[in-house]
Amino acid sequence: MYTRDNDEKGFVSIIVASILMVLVSLVVLGLATIMQREQRQALDRQLSTQAFYAAETGVNDLANVLDDPALPIEKDYCDLPSSAPFNTFNNGVIRSDEQDVKYTCLIYDKTPGDLVFTDTITTSASEVFPIQPESGNEVGNVTFTWNGPSNSTSVDDSGDCTGNLPASFANESIPMLRVDLIAAPAGASFDKTVVLANTASYYFIPAKGACSSTFTATNSENFTSASGANAGQLVYVNCDESNPCAVTVNIDTPTRYNRYYARVKSVYNSVGTLNVTATDGTGDFEFLNAQTLVDVTGKANDVLRRIEVRISNEPNFDRPEAVLETNNSGFCKTLGVVPGVGASVDGADCYN
C-alpha cells in the first residue's frame, strides 16, 4: 500500500518565529512611543520655561511704565492697545527673531481690593505701605491677616498670657506682628502734632487655649487704645490653628483721615503671607498708590504659562529698620571720664 509521509517540523518553527516577530515589534513600538513621549515632555518643559519668561517680561514691561501718567488705572482685557505707553511693548513679542515666544494677555489693576505680601516681612525687614481709598473717603478700619513661615497656622502658646513674652517662638509658628499706623492725610496739610496724636503702635501676639480664656483675646482693637501715651500695646489675638490670625483696627479718633501709612514687621519668626483689607464706609475699598495686581499669560508655540504678581506702587526706598544700624562689626564706644586720664582708644583698636 502507498503511504504519504507528512513532515510538519518546519511549521512549528514558522509559528514560533511569527510570535517572536510580533513580540519584538510590540517592544520596538512601545520604546518608540516612550521616546516620543519623553521628547515631547522635554520640549514642553523647555517651551513652558520660555512661556514663563515671556510672562515675566510682560510684568517688567508694565513695571517700567507704572508711573507714566498716560497709563490707565486699570486694564481688564487681554489685547495690547496701540496707544502710549503700550506702544513700547512690541505687541508682547520678546525677540524679533522668535515671534512664537511672547505674552498674549496682560491685565492689571492699580487699585486692588486687598494688599498681599508674601515672604517679605521678617524680623529684620518690614513693609511700609499707604492705606488710602481710591474714593477719597475717610478710612474706617483696617484688617490684618497673617500666618507663619511656609504659610503655617501653628500657634505657640508657651507664653504665660500676662504680657511676659517668651524668649522665642517655636519654629514655623505664626509670629508676633508689630504694626504702626500713622495718619498722613492726602491733599491736606499736616504737621508733627497731627502725626504724633494720630500714630498707633501694636504688638499682636497669636494666642489660643489658656490665653484665649484668661486674657481678653480679641480680634478687634481701637486706634486710640494704642496711640499717644498708649503706644506699643501688647494685644493677644485669638487665633484658630485651622486659619491664619486676623485682627481689625477701628479708626475711632475724633478726626478720621483719608490716608494712613502702615509699617509692619514680624517678631520671633517670619511672616508667610500678610493680607490687608480695609473699609471706608461706602462698600468696596480699593487701595490707591499701594500695589498693582498684574495677571500675565506667556506663550511659546502652543504652551501657555499664566502668572499673577503684585508690584509695589511706592518708590523702592531703602528705609532704615531702626534709629541706629550697624554692620556685622557692631558698635564701638569710647568713653572719657576725666580729661587726660587713661589711655586713648582710636578706631583701629575698637575691634581688637
Residue 296 CB burial class (10 angstroms; 0-12, 13-18, ≥19) = buried
Other CB atoms within a 10 A radius of the CB of residue 40 amount to: 10
Does position 258 have pLDDT exceeding 70, yes or no?
yes
Residue-averaged pLDDT of the chain: 83
Question: Contact 329/351 with Cβ under 8 angstroms?
Answer: yes
Q: Is residue 96 very low, low, confident or very high in pLDDT (cuts 50, 70, 90)?
A: confident
**Predicted pLDDT of residue 139:** 92
- If one counts every other C-beta atom within 10 angstroms of the C-beta of residue 120, the result is 16
At 234, the amino acid letter reads L
Alpha-carbon dihedral 275, 278, 284, 285, rounded to 10 degrees: -90
ω into 69 cis (within 30 of 0): no
Q: Which three cell numbers stand for residue 260?
A: 494712613
Q: Give the CA distances from residue 178 to residues 40, 130, 159, 247, in Å, rounded to whole numbers and listed in that order.
A: 50, 16, 17, 12
> Cα(309)–Cα(109) distance, rounded to whole angstroms?
11
Contact residues for 195 (Cβ-Cβ < 8 A; gap 6+) = 182, 183, 184
Residue 251, φ and ψ in degrees, nearest 5: -80, 95
Helix (H, G, I), strand (E, B) or coil at 333: coil
Summarize pLDDT for 98-152 with one digit per residue, the tens: 889 999 999 999 999 999 999 999 998 899 999 999 998 999 999 999 999 988 8
Q: Is the pLDDT of residue 283 over 90?
A: no
Query: For the chain, what are the domain ranges?
Result: 19-106, 115-289
pLDDT in tens, 204-257: 988 876 665 555 556 888 888 888 778 888 888 888 777 788 999 999 877 788
Residues near 201 by beta carbon (within 8 Å), at least 6 away in sequence: 178, 179, 180, 181, 226, 227, 231, 232, 233
pTM: 0.80
Residues 6+ apart with CB under 8 A from 328: none
Q: What's the pLDDT band for 195 if we cut at 50, 70, 90?
A: confident
- The residue whose grid cell reads 504659562 is 305
| Max CA separation in the chain (angstroms) | 146
User: What is the enclosing helix (H) or strand (E) of 61?
Assistant: helix 9-64
* Residue 225 DSSP class: G
Which of the two residues, 58 and 324, has the higher pLDDT score? 58
Around 115, how many Cα atoms within 13 Å sit in the side-chain half-sphere?
30
Identify the residue with better confidence: 193 or 327: 193
